[in-house]
Structure 1
């Protein structure tokens, strides 16, 4: 036998042994973790078990309340829903929570979680990297960006002590009038949403951070915001399975650690109860049909879709009975205590089966062991400062934003020439001064800004006085940039303003800061582009990388984005113009 053949046989034999040993070690490790989880659960009291089922939210009196929730009520996880100015402040607070957890009877660490749909900046806007919204990533059509954005988020989150990100949004935004999802979704194409959902999960997993696909079984076709009302979905089961479930199936196939429920009624599955409280949805559809073995966590139970129809305590018991593992308790301290007490009393009264409780607690403890949370409780404060919001991360956010800006219409208006002394009027519904500052950096001429938005009920709109002021300003300017904002339908005041500016006869470009459908309200504008920058809660965290990129495109950078959604049938999904 020739030497090369012998060498090949030896290589194959050694490789086979390595694979077998790795497989045995992996199985042994898995069995060891499961065994340890069972041992821990066996030592727990009923009160400790109930604590693991509840995700508490620090109130304004964080220290005494948090200390009590962790050391007296044994809560298993914390939702950091407030906003912190610095990485240091965040890391110190998280370390304190873990220190209290270590001092409890069994010393079980707690999950630290938070919404991070556009990076940890959603929790730490002062320093963390602000990423473009998910629809902006969808507009790049670059799946790698989704993975890299999640990896960046995971690195910054981990440095501050987070374990769990409530993202990606796996909802397919099939309804352009969706009141709560909008630019939080990757788009309307099920395949694209599925691919980007899986990619984000992969990015989180690469850094050991758990993620949560939301909002099961799909929140993309609602006409109401479940923060304020209960919404019912009437499409068929076929539509559910072909359009809305595939991204969640992709998440499960990628090995996602958790899935978050939605507070919507899916008539085709359960016409009576919202998904969060429905055993048909959580156990029947998610556990049995889709074979999901990870943690099921509810969306915030203080949302009025739940709280108005059921009390916090009653809803918590219903959710656990339906198959949820963790109830997201938020709101007031009394609401959160009501959740804990109601679950405990239900267990004592036999309204919750002990086997149902043990199943969830064992699943939670297993994940804490898998993530080495017992060995790595505290984070290095100095490292958090170095990692969070570093230059490399911000450069990636800028690249994604630049590739996302979508030029939808251009009647020989764009690009504007940055080298002339022409003056520019910047009019915006929000962040007008910040946008104008970016214009000053890229153009030579005079720049004037004016913010027109005024609160009108629950929406932003433009007063007639503001319209008159803008029209007067525009008379003396050479070119006009108008940034509109809507979360669903654009308001009439904005429509009137854009149309009146267009009638002046000067170059006008309109830019949507939120929903890309704004052009439906002013179809005759000469130039229009979409940034996908702001969601329903636009005032919480601005996304300057998105509007800065739009300004650069207006002044000559190449537009690369493609629409992730269809606009009124006139501009199909995948449409996007380039400069000649």
Structure 2
């Protein structure tokens, strides 16, 4: 208790001395009961000394703003020091050393701000810390992990991601995606989901939560109560799902219940209207969903964070300020204030004004502040707010991490169809043509795969990149090149529906009579549009924003040239291939 007393005194008297708290603190999820733990008493004493502005600050998570040198700028300092932000979400790409410097600077600003509380520093690290740290380890997307059918692989990926994230200054990851991808045309979830079966998504979700949290990083199950059956991207519009309560309870909620049972410390809301619960408001703003369903019915005691509030599903209809007040009153603990600085300040000011007017009660605010502080204590952020730059670089460059990623990727690659086309022989000096579309204007995808083929094969390689929706002229050029080649690899990509030109490209190449292997880089459903292809491989490696995961492409090239494929379809391909399909050599 002496350490806790010293901590309380140092914080509340404004001293810069921050003595360790975690050694004496209870390590529970911060639940309050009739008998208060030492940690609960500490939290309550801290709260009694906080101003309303400081409390509101703990309820807002702004995205950071950067200088040209990719360090946090003056606007970010103001958000932390003037508006008392208790957490941040970091975007952009930096190497490990710069990331550690960046996050340390954020923590220094917080340490020099009353009441000197450490920051929760978060990021979307769905396919590994690599998503924002350039020299970190890239892992397969979640659908690829689902294709392995191995919960251990899911946990190993989460463990390594957590170790690299924590070393570079992140203590909160917005992963895993617990959405069950039941809609093949879903424009935003897709390969970010483990698959279409509730049982698979549930087991993988629980495994990853343990992998993250046992290694010191807050995990987040998202997007509650399920974004897998939508046909609208909530970044662009407000989606609604019309299935009944039984479907909600049997298909979409179990992965979130599995997350709760696994001890998840955070759940993120979905900007989706769930008609079975609330026909008027998206989950993020609905008390029926967040308090009624998640808290009261499912028993979640942890922290609820909203998805980005600048997304059109929310911002366009309600505006940043009004939506923030609605979200907190609905049961959210932290409002993710992305968007521009004006929108972020609107969020802080609206919550402050609502508290002053009584629209937002002090009791409701204190409930959320308690959960935020409990999380900071549980993850020992008072003792360990800074990271070592050299250790950050070392952590993300462990050869064992890269080997694990490569092994999981090999186990994920799914050979869906093979009519005596594969494997290609790597020792034969055959000319291989690699041709496929640019992805969001980039030719790097096809060029990178061609380079990998060149390294793998004793023969020569030619590559040709078409536009995203391959034109007739481009297809004719590809066919001419194919006539000179001995074997053909055709990557295709669709974030939702496959462009007609890509399907025609595969069909015309198949007509040449040469061995053709098509490789889906995104959703595994591409083969529906070119079912006559001789061989088809799914990699699940690129989502709707085009984030590259070359680890999976490398594994696919290995499989094409003889490595045994290990994946089984985590979704069904309607009319062609069932869930669980996966060929071997």
TM-score when scaled to structure 2?
0.92
CA distance in 1, matches of 2:27, 2:489: 59
Note if 1:468 corresponds to 2:500.
Answer: no
Answer yes or no: is the 8 Å Cα contact 2:26–2:39 preserved in 1: no
> How many Å apart are 1:212 and its aligned residue?
0.4
Which of 229, 242, 245 aligns to 1:237? It is 245
Structure 1 residue matching 2:458: 3-state secondary structure: coil
**Equivalent pair of 2:27/2:378 in contact (CA under 8 Å):** no
Given candidates 154, 164, 168, the residue that maps to 1:156 is: 164
Given candidates 294, 304, 307, the residue that maps to 1:296 is: 304
Select the residue among 202, 215, 219 that pairs with 2:223: 215
Deviation digits for residues 190-241 of structure 1 (CA, Å, limit 9, x no counterpart): 1111000000001012112111000000000001100001011000000000
Contact 1:217 1:244 in 2 (8 A): yes
Whether 1:97 aligns to 2:110 is: no
Alignment partner of 1:210: what SS? coil
The aligned counterpart of 2:288 is: 280
Structure 1 gaps, min length 5: 1-23, 454-459
Aligned residues: 547
The equivalent position to 1:433 in structure 2, one of 447, 454, 469, is 447
Aligned to 1:398: 406
After TM superposition, give the deviation of residue 372 of structure 1 in Å.
1.2
- Aligned twin of 1:78: 88
Moved more, 341-350 or 270-279: 341-350
**Who is 2:13 aligned against?**
none
- CA contact 1:37–1:369 (8 Å) conserved in 2: no
Paired position in structure 1 for 2:506:
498
SS of the residue corresponding to residue 415 of structure 2 reads strand
Q: Which residue of 1 aligns with 2:47?
A: 41
Which residue of the other structure, out of 396, 416, 421, is the alignment partner of 2:424? 416
Q: 1:406-460 deviations in whole A, cap 9, x for unaligned?
A: 011111111111111110000122411110111111111110011113xxxxxx3
SS in structure 1 at match of 2:219: strand
Q: Distance in 2 between matches of 1:506 and 1:260?
A: 49
Q: Does the 8 A contact of 1:428 with 1:483 survive in 2?
A: yes
Name the structure 2 match of 1:312. 320
1:132·1:546 contact (CA, 8 Å) conserved in 2?
yes
Query: After superposition, what is the alpha-carbon deviation per residue over 1:466-522, rounded to whole angstroms, capped at 9, x for unaligned?
Result: 212111111111111000000121110001111111111111110000000000000
* Cross-structure match for 1:106: 115
> Which residue of structure 2 aligns with residue 142 of structure 1?
150
**Contact 1:325–1:360, Cα closer than 8 Å, also in 2:** yes
The answer (yes or no) to whether the contact 2:43–2:374 under 8 Å persists in 1 is: yes
CA contact (8 A) 2:26 2:38 kept: no
Q: How does 1:501-516 map to 2 (within 5 A)?
A: 501-516=509-524
Partner of 1:68: 78
Residue 185 of structure 1: aligned partner:
193
1:325 maps onto 2:339 in alignment: no
Find the partner of 2:569 among 546, 563, 567: 563
Unaligned segments of structure 2, at least 5 residues: 1-24, 31-35, 439-444
Query: CA offset at residue 33 of structure 1?
Result: 1.0
**What RMSD over aligned residues (CA atoms) do the two structures have, in Å?**
1.5
Give 1:352's match in structure 2, choosing from 336, 343, 360.
360
3-state secondary structure, aligned to 2:231: coil
Cα distance in structure 1, aligned partners of 2:477 and 2:511: 15
State how far apart, in whole Å, the 2-side matches of 1:463 and 1:42 are.
67
TM-superposed CA distance for 1:26, in Å, is 7.1
- Aligned with residue 53 of structure 1, among 42, 51, 59: 59
Query: C-alpha deviations, 1:219-265, integer Å up to 9, x for none?
Result: 00001100001011000000000000000000000110000000000
Give the structure-1-normalised TM-score. Answer: 0.93
- Equivalent pair of 1:33/1:370 in contact (CA under 8 Å): no
Aligned to 1:441, what secondary structure does the other structure show?
helix
Q: Structure 2: how far apart are the matches of 1:26 and 1:155?
A: 20
